[in-house]
Amino acid sequence: HNYQLCQNCFWRGHANGPHSNQHQMKEHSSWKSPAKKLSHAISKSLGCVPSREPPRPVFPEQPEKPLDLAHIVPPRPLTNMNDAMVTHMSSGAPTPTKRSRC
């Protein structure tokens, strides 16, 4: 079995008998553009091959100022579900309604 089998013939089951390389074939797994090959060759020759280590996080030199939360009013604690319903009803928020499907 000293022949190459193209992907189209493989998927169509034309693996029996001698395979003809006369029709157009495409390589689907290992094609690299000439620009990619050139950039890889140059980076290898210059010793600029990137390492496989993950990048380290960059931290600012000065920490960020904490937010001033003094002006924010904390929510009123709810004692039971009735308080939640009264609060929701008096807030003017629309209440959900069922819509009939036509």
CA gap 49, 42 in Å, rounded: 10
Task: Specify the pLDDT at position 82.
Answer: 62
Of 36, 11, 41, 37, which is closest to residue 26 (Cα–Cα)? 11
- In the chain, DSSP finds a helix count (H) and a strand count (E) of 3, 0
Task: Specify the pLDDT at position 1.
Answer: 44
Task: Specify the pLDDT at position 12.
Answer: 76
pLDDT tens digits, residue range 81-95? 665 555 555 555 555
Say if residue 48's pLDDT is above 70.
no
Compute the average pLDDT of residues 62-78: 83
What is the end-to-end Cα distance of the chain in Å, rounded? 66
Query: What's the pTM?
Result: 0.20
Task: Specify the pLDDT at position 40.
Answer: 78
Compute the average pLDDT of residues 54-72: 84
- Asked if 4 and 21 touch (Cβ cutoff 8 Å), the reply is yes
Say if residue 38's pLDDT is above 50.
yes
